[in-house]
A and B are shown apart, each in its own frame.
Chain A
């Protein structure tokens, strides 16, 4: 049971480049989400999904796109990277789509935009 798997772990981009951060979970969780972690700012919610085909915006959605075509996968796309998107990104899932419960986090993806 792998839990939440994120790839890549490290990535360096130039301003304006695009890329996708991958997230997969094998726990059949309904809810999946993306957070970014910046020094002194904690974890901020970017986008989330309560089930396949359903996505919504979090606190800081600008510059990011998501889709949820399957229960297992929730990729995060940066269409035109900016230095302000330099951060550590975490994918997290929980069993229930709309209820409370523990979030299970991946190990993170460190992105640097030059």
Chain B
């Protein structure tokens, strides 16, 4: 079946440094790639998404890049802050009657003060 691989599973960075999380998807028909942030004890929340007709999207300190040829997409967080510490999930859309999202296995990001 379709799947999304996410790396790394854990990531520790110093406050102010950048963090990069990478995902690879298998369905060449995928056309929507959201990223969710999950804080402790909460449900995931969308932080940024990108559609397949765009190669890069930026929102303040967060950016996502997409390489459709290689079926890779990445989340970039610059100038990390302690409040960025959380679990991050990537996802890719698959379509069969309706759009469903296949999620990666998550990355636990720790920003060290």
Cα–Cα distance between A50 and B99 once the two chains are bound (Å): 10
B106, A90: Cβ atoms under 8 Å?
no
Chain A interfacial residues counted at CB < 8 A: 27
With contacts A42-B6, A56-B97, A98-B97 known, is A106 near B105, CB below 8 A?
no
A48, B100: Cβ atoms under 8 Å?
yes
Say whether chain B's binding surface is mostly helix, strand, loop, or mixed: strand
Chain B interfacial residues counted at CB < 8 A: 28
Chain A, Cβ-Cβ closest to B99: A100
Q: Which residues of the partner chain B approach A90 to less than 8 Å between Cβ atoms?
A: 43-44
Taking the closest CB of chain A, its distance from the CB of B10, in whole angstroms, is: 11
Chain B, Cβ-Cβ closest to A107: B43
Cα–Cα distance between A18 and B49 once the two chains are bound (Å): 38
Among B1-52, those with CB < 8 Å from A are 1, 4, 6, 9, 31-32, 34, 36, 41-46, 49, 51
Provide a sorted-by-A list of 8 A–B residue pairs whose CB atoms are within 8 angstroms: A31-B98, A43-B103, A44-B103, A90-B43, A98-B97, A99-B99, A100-B99, A103-B101
The 10 closest A-B pairs by CB, nearest first: A105-B43, A43-B103, A42-B105, A98-B98, A42-B103, A102-B46, A100-B32, A105-B44, A107-B43, A50-B98
